[in-house]
A and B are shown apart, each in its own frame.
Chain A
Amino acid sequence: MYRYDQYDQTLVDERVSQFRDQTERFLAGKLPEEEFRALRLRNGLYIQRFAPMLRISIPYGLLSSEQVHTLAHVARTYDKGYGHFTTRQNMQFNWPDLARVPDILADLAKVQMHAIQTSGNCIRNITSDHLAGVARDELVDPRPYCELTRQWATFHPEFNWLPRKFKIAFTASQSDRAAIRVHDIGIQIVRNEAGELGYTVYVGGGLGRTPIIGVKTADFVPELDLLSYLEAVLRVYNLLGRRDNIYKARIKILVKETGAEKFRQMVDEEWERIRHGELRLDGTEIERMRAHFTLPDYESLPAVDASYESKLREDSAFAAWARRNLHPHRQPGYAVVFVSLKANGIAPGDITAEQMDAVAQLADRYSFGEIRATHDQNLVLADVKLSDVFAVWQQLRSLNLATPNIGLLTDLICCPGLDFCSLANASSISVAQDIFDRFESLDDQHDIGPIKVKMSGCMNGCGHHTVGHIGILGVDKKGEEWYQVTLGGSAENDASLGDRTGPSFSREDIGDAVQRIIEVYLERRDSEDETFLGAYRRIGMAPFKARLYPATAAA
């Protein structure tokens, strides 16, 4: 993985000092609250319902075991002993004390971590495929390009005060696991007919209040022009993005109001001007970056491991877990292990300090000391030998991290909601719990098959509800919590936005509504192989509507 050199470290250390000074000036009454707000947000610090919330950056979701131990230390020392993985592969702490945040940042800096640009109207953490480097369908490892972009975006002086937040995601595989079409900029690494590497670029996708699928602005940007192209897009946005209305300030609105063709032309003009300048990468920079993401020291193993196969036969609980929580690895004899953070009774994405330490130890022992965070709020041990998988499962199970539900209904993603977030209209964690209770039986879940349920407690859409196969959005109706439901969204290659079912459901009825939707699917699918999304696209909304709103249908 990427390791800081002296320059990266200098910048992060200088940022800690700068933020310490800003915090001290604020606490001494020398910095107005409104200005400190803008400054602290650029360091991931929100003031939430009960306490500040600090969001730590995890570039493209990749962590070393040492970093995970430090997150555990932060959870224990400065928080209530746990942390929360977000839908953008970051980690949030919900209970730090404002005055001690500079100390947290200093501790993080020692292991090459920070909270830079994890909120505020600036370029946020760069996200990518959680299977980067191990997926079978990958063209190249996207992470060197993510890191080049991260460095370009870090403290970019021109783009620190954008109209609104700005999110960039990369993928380099055939199936998009990074949801690039719903990012401000989504980049697919491709090879052209001449065999050269480059980027297909999508701009203006996004969730939140006005969900939109991004439009393609370039079929092929050459590999060395990555930063100049990004800079051109950002410059056009910074100059022309709307600043009169926060709800219309994202780049998606600029693209829509300008028109995709005209927008593309403006970007191209600026890009032509700067692409041969200082931002042009040279081959050695890319090579240097690639050298940080070399393959681990894999053993040469047969594709089949006898001990693993026999454990599968002997232990049905292990087999059920392996069926859901393993992903095929590129390297023979290895598997990708998903660590489920979706256990019953636990808010999706939450993890205790003890669990963090234990996962870090597992990574050291079985997976080359690295851990990944996924945007579905789970963790991944990417390089586990098949012969070790059983031992890893046993330990994960004793840690309550082996719920065999990856990709199934209870692997739902969910924002912190009204329980923690000051923006939320409605509780989301309790609804997640309700759904968990209804569908906990694994047989039922396996029968339902792969499905993505995504839930947000407000329009900002941190839970990505608009691209859930079933999306749930908390709304406030005269002080009561209600829930709108959408069907048929997807953030993958076939990206689409969900359709509203109709009137929203009360807190008591939302669980029933989800159950009825599932019933309609089970009755109407043409075979067990037809997924929920496939069935919805075939049969449409009408059968679901009829079941959800029988009275209206009768009237």
Chain B
Amino acid sequence: MSALLRVDGGSAITYAPIGDDDAVPENGAVLVSFARWERDRAQLDARKAPLAIQLPNTADIATIDPAVLKADLIVLQFPSFGDGRGYSQARLLRDARGYKGELRATGAAVVRDQLLGMVRCGIDSFELRADQSPESCMEALKDFSIAYQPPADDLPQIRSLRRRSMST
């Protein structure tokens, strides 16, 4: 069973996955594919319960319908260890599109050794691969205490640390 993990330590809501041809229940948090959302968005948006949309990792975030950004949760896919498209999608959702909601990673690459990079790109919740322990994954977030790049997360950025030390 895959564990859900939130970076802030809070408990992640479980969204019931709805297949593209399944009926959407009246109540309860649901997770639908982007294709399903596009097809039935009127019905889905009218519901009062939380909505999660899972994007394919080929989705063009720069031009995606702004209505997607109103979802309670956006799920990005990391299907294999070497497929890093979701990292750029996450950056674009946060930085270019200003998405403030929960951003979750799912797939076979959601493992301890990739988690910190995901957090640094703005992902804040995880559906861990079944063999991963949440405790060990939280540990991995402490692997690095600083970073060279501007953050989408909370790591202190070396360039601004240096600027600060130069101006004092």
Contacts and interface: CB of A to CB of B under 8 A. Distances in A.
B79 to A, nearest CB: 10
B116 to A, nearest CB: 7
Contacts of B147: 11, 155, 157
A14 interface: yes
B48 interface: no
Mostly, the B contact residues are helix
Given A35-B81, A38-B82, A157 B166 contact: no
Contacts of B118: 157
Interface string A34-46: 1100110000000
B148 A158 contact: no
A315 interface: no
Nearest to A7: B158
A160 B117 contact: yes
A288 B162 CA distance: 10
Contact of A235 (B91, B111, B149, B162): B91
A158 B145 contact: no
Interface string B141-168: 0011111111000000011011100100
Contacts of A31: 113
A22 B92 CA distance: 30
B85 interface: yes
Given A157-B87, A284-B163, A34 B81 contact: yes
Contact of A239 (B88, B146, B150): B88
Given A158-B121, A235-B88, A7 B162 contact: yes
A33 B59 CA distance: 31
Contact of A35 (B83, B111, B148, B163): B111
28 contacts: A7-B158, A10-B145, A10-B146, A14-B144, A18-B143, A35-B81, A35-B111, A38-B82, A154-B148, A155-B144, A157-B87, A157-B117, A157-B147, A158-B88, A158-B117, A159-B84, A160-B84, A161-B81, A161-B83, A162-B84, A235-B92, A239-B85, A239-B88, A239-B89, A243-B82, A277-B150, A279-B150, A288-B162
Interface of B: 60, 62, 81-85, 87-89, 91-92, 95-96, 109, 111, 113-114, 116-118, 120-121, 143-150, 158-159, 161-163, 166
Interface of A: 5, 7-8, 10-11, 14-15, 17-18, 22, 31, 34-35, 38-39, 121, 151-152, 154-162, 235, 238-239, 243, 269-270, 273-274, 277-279, 282, 284-285, 288
